[in-house]
Structure 1
Amino acid sequence: MAGGFLHQPTPSGSTEELLGHEFFEELLSRSFFQRALNHESFFVMHDLMNDLATSIASEFFVRVDNEKEKNIKEMLEKYRHMSFVRENYVPNKKFEAFTRAKSLRTFLAMSVGVLDEWDRFYLSNKVLVNLFREFPLLRVICLSNFEISEVPDTIDTLRHLRYIKLSRTRITHLLENVYNLYNLETLILCGCNKLNKLPNSILKLKKLEHLDIRDTQSLDQMPLGVGELKSLQTLSKIFIGDESRFNIARLKEFKNLC
């Protein structure tokens, strides 16, 4: 959905999410994906299918760790999607060449295997600043599990951003300029234990559909007027009572809440 692949008109009463689920189930029935043996909610791709998909899409996507430097430099301007496997420390030098990839839509930090509680991953702040400044067409960003303490203010340049995942980072707050992300549909902050505040400007994100704030122990209130987010389908936590200034009866304002 965030990538813009669900342009097909949806039937009355349906949503883009339901349409996306239908597409996924269709691909699953054709063995494009297969259920993982060790976890019923996980899916994998057969090696042969992965090789085929990689071959067909190679002009538009890159896995940084598996690509030769020469091939990367030759095709930078065409790349739309980039992923890389997290390392204990990701230096700025790793992404210096990608400043020419102005058409990037997707930037994903991936993991291999199950993460342990003591795993720590560090990302140069300069990488973040450059990421938000150099790739204005980004629609999808996943930076979960990094030891990130703040989100650079250059994030407000990402006017096309639909989806951002910052779960299990060390951020304490989001900047007020988040309101510039007026196309944002999904904001995932679960496991951000140090997050203690959501900006009032978040109320201007009228297209926000999913706000995941599970396991945010330091967060104990919501912005006043959170009921203005009429498009919300997912709101994983709400604070009721005098201190939060939110009455339980106001839940009726979330007409689309699932």
Structure 2
Amino acid sequence: MGCFGFLKTMMILFNGIIFLAGAAILGVGIWVKVDNGSVLSFLQGISAADSQLGQVLNVGYLLIAVGSVLLILGFLGCCGAVRESRCMLLLFFVIVLIVFIAEVAGAIVLLVFKPLAEDLIQKAGEEAVKNIKKDYGTNKDLTGLWNSTMTTLKCCGFNNYTDFTGSPFVNGTGFYPPQCCGSSSCNGTTASSVDIPGCYPALKKLVDDNAVIIIAVALGIAALELAAMIVSMTLYCHIGSKRD
């Protein structure tokens, strides 16, 4: 097997795996959004399942988006290599390049313009707090998303428990969310005595504590993307030279 045959085989295998993974993720995402009752029944059937597992229903849209992108990439890369289609290989290259550029741009913003990035996050946080005060307790998707986030990160609100003051949930029940209160429920007078950090500080601490792992994973993903682009362009050029 020559170099071209080896690269073609690796392109087919690698993108075949991506295609199957994307199809599986997309299928799960669609199932989560379309058949909520079955998903909840399945989760409740797991022994010792946490009550918050039901909140996975709120990640359905994310699964659909990620699965769709992986499905398209896997199809273009695998089918492009099998059929030796320059058009598909070029589309594959362009999509991976766009994702790579977006990741590099995001890294530059975070590293070089860190104060600007923190300012943007704070502005996004202000909008998140407005949504909490307006819809937490009445909007099922928003409420579930915040409950899941707070349970996972062991945090309360974006900044702290006061983000929920005036929300439909607090106004209707007189209590703050259980994630803000430790092991017991709390009202407006006792919530301030519970030291539960906000989700932004908690997430920032989590990132700082795992910075080395995050950088290693990011570099690994970037290396795979570069390898995919190099291989796709190599096949693209080789196929073109064969036809000339």
Fold match (TM-score > 0.5): no
**TM-score (normalizing by structure 2):** 0.27
**TM-score (normalizing by structure 1):** 0.26
Structure showing greater relative contact order (alpha-carbon pairs closer than 8 Å, 6 or more residues apart) = 2
Structure showing greater radius of gyration is: 2
Higher-strand-fraction structure: 1
